[in-house]
Amino acid sequence: MQQSANAQFLAVPPVCRCLLDFGFGAHGLTVMYYRPVDLWDRVQAQDSNVSFTDFSERNTLRPEVSASSRSDVFSALRSLRVFARHFYNDAVQELIDGASSFIDSYKGVSDTDAVSWKLLAFWVTSKFSMFRRLIISRDFDAAQEVWLEFSLTDEEFLELLDLRRSHHVADPSHRSPPKTNRAE
C-alpha cells in the first residue's frame, strides 16, 4: 500500500494505518491527508523527522495542510478515489464519488474562500466518519446510503453554512471601510 503507484498522496505509516480501517474522524484522519503530492513534497517529507518505516501507534499523524480552495478538496478526493479503486469496495468508492460530485458542482462559495473550503473539507470528513461508524455497528444498509447525504439539504451542511455566514459577518476584514462625509 505504502509504495503503491495508486497512492498519489504522502503514504506515511500513520496515514496508511488509518486507511486500513477507514479511520476518518475517530482516528484523526481527514480528507486533506489525501491531497496529491509532488516530488517537492516527497523531498520535504524525507528531510523531516517523518518515519516511513514505523507503523506503530507511537508514530502519529502529523497536522495536514488545510483546504483553502475547491481544487484542494476536489484533488484530495480524486486522489483518495484512485486509491479506493484498488483497495476498497464499491460502497466506499460510491461514498467518495458522492463527495466529489457535490464538491465539483457546489457553487455556493467562491473557489478561493479558504475558510468555507476548510469547513466543507470538515463536513466531508464527518460524512466519511459517519460511514465508518455505521460499518462498525454493522448497519451496512445505512452505511451504503451515506453518500446521499452530500446534498444542499443536509442539516450539518446547512449548520456549517450558517457558521460561516456568522463568522464572515463578524470578521472586520470583510466589512467595507467606513464612509466619510467630507464637504468639498
- Does some domain include residue 2? no
Burial status of residue 56 (CB atoms within 10 A of its CB: 0-12, 13-18, 19 or more) = exposed
- Does some domain include residue 129? yes
Which set of grid coordinates corresponds to residue 170?
463578524
pLDDT at 177: 44
- Does some domain include residue 69? yes
- Per residue of the chain (184 residues), what is the pLDDT tens digit? 444 555 666 666 666 666 666 677 766 777 776 777 767 766 676 666 666 665 666 666 666 778 888 989 998 899 889 888 878 789 989 999 999 999 999 999 899 899 999 999 999 999 989 998 898 889 899 989 999 999 999 999 999 999 988 876 555 554 444 444 444 4
Considering its fold, how many domains does the chain have in total? 1
Q: Residue 84: which domain range?
A: 13-171
- Does some domain include residue 47? yes
Can you tell me whether residue 153 is helix, strand or coil? coil
pLDDT at 179: 44
- Does some domain include residue 8? no
- pLDDT tens digits, one per residue of 13-64: 666 666 666 677 766 777 776 777 767 766 676 666 666 665 666 666 666 7
- Does some domain include residue 4? no
Among residues 142, 149, 143, which one has the least CA distance to residue 123?
149
- Does some domain include residue 40? yes
Residue 140: Cβ within 10 Å count: 11
- Does some domain include residue 181? no
